[in-house]
Amino acid sequence: MTTSDDAVTVLTVEAPAVAQRRARWRMALPVGLLAVPMLAFLTYFFFYPAFILLFSSIQTQDSRGIIGRPFTLAHYARLINVELYARVLWTTLRISIITSALATVLAYPVALVMVRSRPMVTRIITLIVIAPLIVSVVVRGYGWQLVLQNGPKGMLNWILMTLHIVDAPISVLYTEVAVVIGSLHVFFPMMVLPLASALGKIDPNLEDAARMLGAPWWKVFLRVTLPLSMPGFVAGFTLVFSLTAGSFVIPAILGGASAVMLGNLIEQQIFVVYDWPFGAAIAVVLVGLVLAVNGFSMWLLEGRRLRRPE
Amino acid sequence: MKSSEVRLDRLSKEYGRMVAVDEVSLAIEPGHMVALLGPSGCGKTTCLRMIAGLIRPTSGDVFVNDKRMTDVPVHRRNVGMLFQNYALFPHLTVEENIAFGLEMRGISKADAARKVSEALNLVQLSKFGKRYPAQLSGGQQQRVALGRALVIEPAMLLLDEPLGALDKGLRESMQVELRALQRRLGLTTVMVTHDQDEALTMADKIVVMRDGKLEQVGSATEIYQRPTSKFVAQFIGASNLFEGPIEQRNGNGAVIRVSPELSLQVDQLPPTTSDVMVSIRPEAIVVERAGQTPAAQRANSVTARVDQAVYRGFVSHYYLKTPSGGQIIVFEQNQSQQAGLRYAVGEEVVARWEAPSNHIIARH
Ligand SMILES: Nc1ncnc2c1ncn2[C@@H]1O[C@H](COP(=O)(O)OP(=O)(O)OP(=O)(O)O)[C@@H](O)[C@H]1O
Ligand SMILES: [Mg+2]
């Protein structure tokens, strides 16, 4: 008797929940079906090639150019052991970190002004920040080439010499500096936008409260604004780092021979040297590097190590 | 903690052509709690933020103990403030939140730790020091904010609708708690509220604002019993407002003719010779069954019909209609033994009140 009573109670309690779950499924099903084409496309055209790439990187190429057994890690060893290649790896890391760091420093004031101004000003600044995205990276690369050109006819040199800041032309083009400048220009919006979004979520009362508790403006920034904008900083830094590390056009146009990055090395191995397994190994290292940075930032954000404003 | 005297001298703030605060002058005695009360958009927050230094006045000055504060930057003013949304630092623990102001003052770690634990005791949150604000209830969060504001031993305390986000029961107990603490510390306090009950319960002095200007300043009793304008009479509590010409002057008073069936005997001399406006609080009116009153046609008395009756626990609200169409609101306290409403809708009654309940107000 008691058992059947219990069963009845359980049923009546459970029934609505089950019905609700079913209803949710009925809704989810068509949406799920709509997602299938894109998921199938990505699986075939992204994950499958990525797997091939990974697979090629541990295989051997024979004298006729055919890739096959035996499996080997020699390509990875070569990337690290051959000084020429290792230097490219370090250059890539260095340029990416410097670009991301500079972008951060330059983006904070822009993002702050963007968030704290009147709506009209905010709109104008947003436009200024994202407008360059309309122009192709290649065009912007060549633009910078003209500006940074070595020799007295380069725009920068001409200005510096006319203003008597330097006596002889300086060499910027085809150095890491040129690549950093170009990358900064191209990837700056990727830093400003997440930062602005994070800063916009900070309650302005928090800064007022800090001021009233005796904090001058720079302490307000260091103790309140900066820590609370960490999610935006991490997102922006990760984006700019990933994009810079993976870039090809900017170092190709502005870096020349002295600032070769991993992307350019891959192109060289695939199209010039025809050493596909080695090219694949470099690509895997590049992807691994970017994934590691992304994974680290996810860990920072999700593990509540950075507290988000409520 | 020494109490400070705060004075506002013709404080104004303009946003473009819009005047948010218009020449507000006010003296606040040391240790007093003043409530800025008024409808939404009347400039209360703007006024408070100018006192805090968060908004720079267009003209006018704030003085604390006769020292001009207008050019002193916010972080040097030593003013405590509670915000409606608490504004606790979400990335800091309760202890770190409270220690923030001490840290900014360069107080040593040991002293700060002692003061923080004293402050936690004061706001009864000793067990919660290691928690983050998101792990506290609204009431607890506001207590942390109070501890954080008090630990710096501020010259004054500013509250911007500090209890607005709390539910009714908690709000009322916090009102009493906050007021007791403020009294004990003798802390000069300015509070913004649009809740008249809050102002009446907590403040020594109520400042009613309207359209950026001061409308009336006075104690709770003064504001409630002697409103100087129609606006105040209607904004604070409910009021029956009658208007009419002076029929007769007698001694220190006059008779005002409101309608053929209603005349008012007032104990004040009308300030004008034209029409006079009189306010009567709903609880000052007594309702009786028609026919029970012998002198139904005397002043301050009118026969009316019950139009609506609302039972609200310890009071009942009656909305009466006079024969000429005027409305009278009456609040009657219910007796504990009583079953419910004493008068039914449609019933004929007599409403009457004493002459001192008639209060002449300047017309607006
Ligand atoms: N930054 C600003 N720019 C323009 N107008 C403003 C600004 N801040 C406030 N105002 C205007 O000033 C007036 C007073 O605002 P204030 O915030 O002081 O009102 P309040 O009395 O606190 O109202 P509430 O009870 O709704 O909080 C309002 O009409 C508001 O629209
Ligand atoms: Mg306000």
Instruction: List, for residues A63-90, the tens digit of each pLDDT value.
Output: 888 888 889 999 999 999 999 999 999 9
Q: In angstroms, rounded to a whole number, what is the distance separating the alpha carbons of residues B200 and B206?
A: 8
Q: Which of A203, A215, A306 sits opposite B75 (nearest CB)?
A: A215
Q: What is the pTM of this model?
A: 0.82
Least confident of A119-128, A227-236, B340-349: B340-349
| Of B220, B242, B229, B244, nearest in space to B33 by CA | B220
Superfamily name and number for B6-234: P-loop containing nucleotide triphosphate hydrolases (3.40.50.300)
Whose C-alpha lies nearest to ligand 1, atom 30?
Answer: B41
Beta bridge pairs of residue B328: B320
Q: Who's near A39: CB < 8 A, 6+ residues apart?
A: none
So what's the pLDDT on residue A302? 78
Q: In angstroms, rounded to a whole number, what is the distance separating the alpha carbons of residues A310 and B90?
A: 7
- Residue B294 predicted with pLDDT over 60: no
Does any ligand 1 atom lie closer than 6 A to the CB of residue B56? no
Query: Chain A residues with CB inside 8 Å of B144's CB?
Result: none
In Å, how far is A303's CA from the nearest CA of chain B?
A: 14
So what's the pLDDT on residue A300? 85
Mean per-residue pLDDT, A139-144: 94
Q: In angstroms, rounded to a whole number, what is the distance separating the alpha carbons of residues A157 and A150?
A: 7
Cα→Cα distances B293→B110, B289, B297, Å: 75, 8, 9
Q: Who's near B303: CB < 8 A, 6+ residues apart?
A: B261, B290, B296, B322, B323, B348, B349, B350
Least confident of A169-173, B205-209, B268-272: B268-272
Q: Please determine, for the modelled complex, whether the ipTM score is greater than 0.90.
A: no
Q: Where in chain B is the domain with CATH 3.40.50.300?
A: 6-234
Q: Where in chain B is the domain with CATH 2.40.50.140?
A: 239-361
Beta bridge pairs of residue B9: B61
* CATH no. of B239-361: 2.40.50.140
- Per residue in A23-71, pLDDT (tens digit) is 776 767 778 888 999 999 999 999 999 999 999 999 998 888 888 888 9
Mean per-residue pLDDT, B175-180: 91
Q: How far is the CA of A208 from the centre of ligand 2 (A)?
A: 15
SS3 B214: strand
- Residue B1 predicted with pLDDT over 70: no
Query: pLDDT-based confidence at A153, cuts 50/70/90?
Result: confident
Mean per-residue pLDDT, A245-254: 95
- Residue B362 predicted with pLDDT over 80: no
Amino acid at position B331, single letter: F
Q: Does A201 touch chain B (CB under 8 A)?
A: no
- Residue B44 predicted with pLDDT over 50: yes
Q: Does A209 touch chain B (CB under 8 A)?
A: yes
Block residue for tokens 């968060």: B54
Query: pLDDT-based confidence at B206, cuts 50/70/90?
Result: very high
So what's the pLDDT on residue B290? 78
Q: Share the mean pLDDT of chain A.
A: 88
- The two tokens of residue B200 are 């009446």
Which uninterrupted H or E stretch holds A289? helix A276-302
Q: Share the mean pLDDT of chain B.
A: 91
So what's the pLDDT on residue B312? 87
- Strands B33-37 and B205-210, sheet pairing: parallel
Q: In angstroms, rounded to a whole number, what is the distance separating the alpha carbons of residues B70 and B50?
A: 9
Size of interface A-B (CB pairs under 8 A): 67
- Residue A6 predicted with pLDDT over 60: no
So what's the pLDDT on residue B29? 95
- Residue A2 predicted with pLDDT over 60: no
What values do phi and psi take at B296, rounded to 5?
A: -70, -20
Q: How far is the CA of B51 from the centre of ligand 2 (A)?
A: 14
User: Which string of DSSP letters, residue by residue, matches B61-93?
Assistant: EEEETTEE-TTS-GGGS-EEEE-TT----TTS-
| Of B257, B261, B259, B298, nearest in space to B274 by CA | B257
So what's the pLDDT on residue B164? 84
Task: Determine the number of helices (DSSP H) and then strands (DSSP E) in chain A.
Answer: 15, 2
CA angle B120, B195, B312 (to 5 degrees): 110
CB-based contact B4:B155 (threshold 8 Å): yes
Q: How far is the CA of B46 from the centre of ligand 2 (A)?
A: 7
So what's the pLDDT on residue A63? 82
- Per residue in A209-231, pLDDT (tens digit) is 999 999 999 999 999 999 999 99
- Residue A134 predicted with pLDDT over 70: yes
So what's the pLDDT on residue B341? 85
CB-based contact B91:B119 (threshold 8 Å): no
- The two tokens of residue A114 are 């963007």
So what's the pLDDT on residue A16? 59
Length of chain A: 310
Q: What is the DSSP letter of B234?
A: H
Query: Chain B residues with CB inside 8 Å of A215's CB?
Result: 75, 100, 104
Map out the domains of chain A with their CATH numbers: 1-42 (no CATH), 79-307 (1.10.3720.10)
Chain B contacts to A (CB-CB under 8 A): 52, 54, 73-81, 83, 85, 87-91, 100-101, 104-105, 132-134, 148, 152
- Residue A110 predicted with pLDDT over 60: yes
